[in-house]
Structure 1
Amino acid sequence: MRHFLIATHGELSKAFIETLELIAGKTTNVSYFGMTKLKSGDLATEELKKILTTKKEDEHFIVLTDIFGGSVTNICTELLMDFKDFDIITGLNLPMMLTLILSGDELSVEDMIEEGVRSAKEGIIHINKLLEAQKGSTEDDLIITD
């Protein structure tokens, strides 16, 4: 079984989960961690360590963080070097999160992560440039679907 930990600065992780549940309904395999001004690095490390080491026997953690090089990702990376039994993907966005969490268990962890990263990249579109490239197209050509 896969368990996802959304770990970000501030309350962003909580908002991601609320958005996920708005789109896909209640989830039981997702938890969150938020790094706030009130948490020291040591306190954050202990909280994350507790989350990542308190898991069921058949559970695999996949940690989604907001920014490479940020304190949350750095702490998770230090814990990964100690425990080596979870995955970290950074650069979290909504397409990535939806792809990963809604993928089910059909794909291997590696394939699922590859799909999530692909979705994250494909979800970044500069709409102005898209419209500029499609000038002269019919109105139906400009319709973008999910």
Structure 2
Amino acid sequence: MKHFLIATHGELSKAFIETLELIAGKTSNVSYFGMTKLKSGDLAKEELKKILTAKKEDEHFIVLTDVFGGSVTNICTELLMEHKDFDIITGLNLPMMLTMILSGDELSIKDMINEGVRSAKEGIIHINKLVETQEGREEDDLIITD
């Protein structure tokens, strides 16, 4: 069974879960961690370690973090090097999170991660450029393909 840990700076992780629940309803396989000014690196590491080691026997954690090179991702990476029993994906955005969490058990962990990363990348669009390329075209031409 997949369990997701949304781990970010500040209260962003909590807001991501609230947004997920707004869109898809309550989920039981998602938890969160927020790195605040009140938490030292050591305290944060202990809290994350406690979350990641409290998993059930058949659970696999997938940790979604906000920024590569940020303190949250770095601490999670330290824990990964110690335990090597979970996955970390950084660069979290809403399309990634929705794709991964809503995939259920239909996809393998590897395929689910690949789909999540693909969705994250495809969800990044510079609208101004899109509008510039679409000006003057028929409505049917506004459908974007590769």
TM-score (structure 1 length as normaliser): 0.96
Give the equivalent residue in structure 1 for 2:33. 33
Shifted more, 24-33 versus 126-135: the winner is: 126-135
Where structure 2 has 5 or more consecutive residues not aligned to the other structure, the ranges are: none
1:134: Cα distance to partner?
Answer: 1.1
Where structure 1 has 5 or more consecutive residues not aligned to the other structure, the ranges are: none
1:142: Cα distance to partner?
Answer: 3.6
Please state whether the residue corresponding to 1:133 is helix, strand or coil: helix
* Stretches (4+) displaced over 6 A: none
Measured on the aligned residues, the alpha-carbon RMSD in Å equals 1.1
Distance in 2, matches of 1:130 and 1:114, equals 25
Give the equivalent residue in structure 1 for 2:102. 102
Question: Is residue 2:2 matched to residue 1:2?
Answer: yes
Distance in 2, matches of 1:127 and 1:56, equals 43
Percent of aligned pairs sharing the same letter: 89
Distance in 2, matches of 1:20 and 1:140, equals 32
Give the equivalent residue in structure 2 for 1:68. 68
TM-score (structure 2 length as normaliser): 0.96
Give CA deviations for 1:55-113 in whole Å, capped at 9, x if unaligned. Answer: 10000000000000000000000000000000000000000000000001111100100
Distance in 1, matches of 2:26 and 2:45, equals 28
1:141: Cα distance to partner?
Answer: 3.9
Distance in 2, matches of 1:27 and 1:106, equals 16
1:143: Cα distance to partner?
Answer: 6.8
Give CA deviations for 1:106-131 in whole Å, capped at 9, x if unaligned. Answer: 11100100000000000000011011
Count of matched residue positions in the alignment of Structure 1 and Structure 2:
144
